[in-house]
């Protein structure tokens, strides 16, 4: 309990176990908190600005080792984002809307039945960081005060997910993401498609399909997880109580809506009842 007492000046929303697949020999902090930051929005009904982050900064040292930030023009051959203008006539009036063509995606709610915990991921998101610093970053982004805005502010807690970038069944793409990001090797038959919806309805309208899968410790592949290529992803486990705590009124998170929806869906439909 000494570590909790030492954080009495912070708003603790819950504790969750974190494991880093890329650096298994490093000491891992088993806690997450909502950490104070002067530039973060104040939680509803609270005077304390908060943000979800790791207590042990050494744990995310690799993820937060970010420098030389600047903005540039989007290349026309970007394989991920293609901006364009959509023209149409509505009720006799000509209109237009600026849109982005992006990949559809899959996400996966993962529950480890051996330890009775949700399996999630965290990673640095440039878009979230830009949202925090855009007013002070300047036209080219080179004037960002990284002491005032440390990269850890943009580390998000999310569902395992990935883009649809190959012509194979969506369940197979979801299975690959579970292995690559979280390190669990499960047959595609265990993945259950639960819902599909449109994300970014103001800019892209891309399709996201959400799956659910239950895993066990026996499904874990020690050499897998943490992302592929130059991805830096950390795996996080939440107990049912910790997940419920994140959903409480007044929480201020960097997580995307799909994460919130997925956790709420699980707690409502699949979480073991006490």
Q: Is 236 helix (H, G, I), strand (E, B) or coil?
A: strand
In the block, residue with structure tokens 């997910």: 161
Q: Which pLDDT band holds residue 139 (cuts at 50, 70, 90)? A: confident
What is the average per-residue pLDDT within 226-249?
93
Is 104-270 in CATH node 3.40.50.2000?
Answer: no
Tokens of 145: 């005060």
If one counts every other C-beta atom within 10 angstroms of the C-beta of residue 236, the result is: 22
d(CA 182, CA 172): 15
239, 200 contact by CB (below 8 A): no
Q: Which tens digits make up the pLDDT trace of 166-178?
A: 999 999 999 999 9
Tokens of 110: 């993962």
Phi, psi of 130, rounded to the nearest 5 degrees: -60, -40
Q: Which tens digits make up the pLDDT trace of 63-119?
A: 889 999 999 999 999 999 999 999 999 999 999 999 999 999 999 999 999 999 999
pLDDT at 38 over 60: no
b/e map 39-58, b = 16+ CB within 10 Å: ebeebeeeeebbbbbbbbee
Q: Which tens digits make up the pLDDT trace of 179-196?
A: 999 999 999 999 999 999
Tokens of 195: 């819902």
Least confident of 55-59, 119-123, 139-143, 155-159: 55-59
d(CA 116, CA 204): 36
If one counts every other C-beta atom within 10 angstroms of the C-beta of residue 103, the result is: 14
């Amino acid at each position: 309990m000494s570590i909790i007492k030492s954080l009495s000046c912070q708003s603790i929303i819950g504790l969750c176990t974190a494991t880093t697949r890329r650096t298994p020999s490093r000491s891992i902090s088993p806690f997450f908190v909502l950490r104070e930051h002067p530039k973060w929005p104040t939680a509803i009904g609270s005077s304390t600005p908060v943000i979800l982050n790791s207590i042990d900064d050494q744990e995310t040292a690799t993820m937060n080792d970010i420098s030389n930030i600047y903005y540039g023009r989007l290349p026309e051959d970007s394989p991920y984002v293609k901006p364009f203008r959509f023209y149409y006539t509505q009720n006799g009036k000509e209109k237009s809307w600026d849109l982005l063509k992006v990949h559809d995606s899959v996400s996966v709610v993962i529950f480890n039945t051996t330890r009775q915990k949700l399996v999630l991921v965290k990673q640095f998101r440039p878009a979230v960081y830009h949202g925090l610093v855009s007013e002070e970053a300047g036209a080219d982004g080179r004037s960002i005060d990284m002491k005032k805005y440390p990269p850890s502010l943009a580390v998000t807690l999310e569902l395992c997910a990935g883009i649809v970038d190959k012509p194979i069944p969506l369940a197979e793409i979801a299975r690959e993401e579970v292995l690559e990001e979280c390190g669990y090797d499960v047959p595609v038959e265990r993945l259950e498609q639960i819902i599909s919806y449109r994300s970014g309805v103001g800019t892209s309208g891309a399709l996201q399909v959400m799956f659910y899968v239950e895993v066990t410790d026996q499904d874990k592949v020690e050499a897998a997880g943490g992302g592929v290529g130059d991805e830096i992803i950390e795996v996080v486990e939440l107990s049912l109580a910790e997940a419920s705590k994140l959903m409480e009124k007044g929480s201020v998170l960097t997580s995307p809506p799909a994460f919130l929806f997925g956790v709420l869906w699980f707690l409502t439909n699949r979480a073991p009842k006490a």
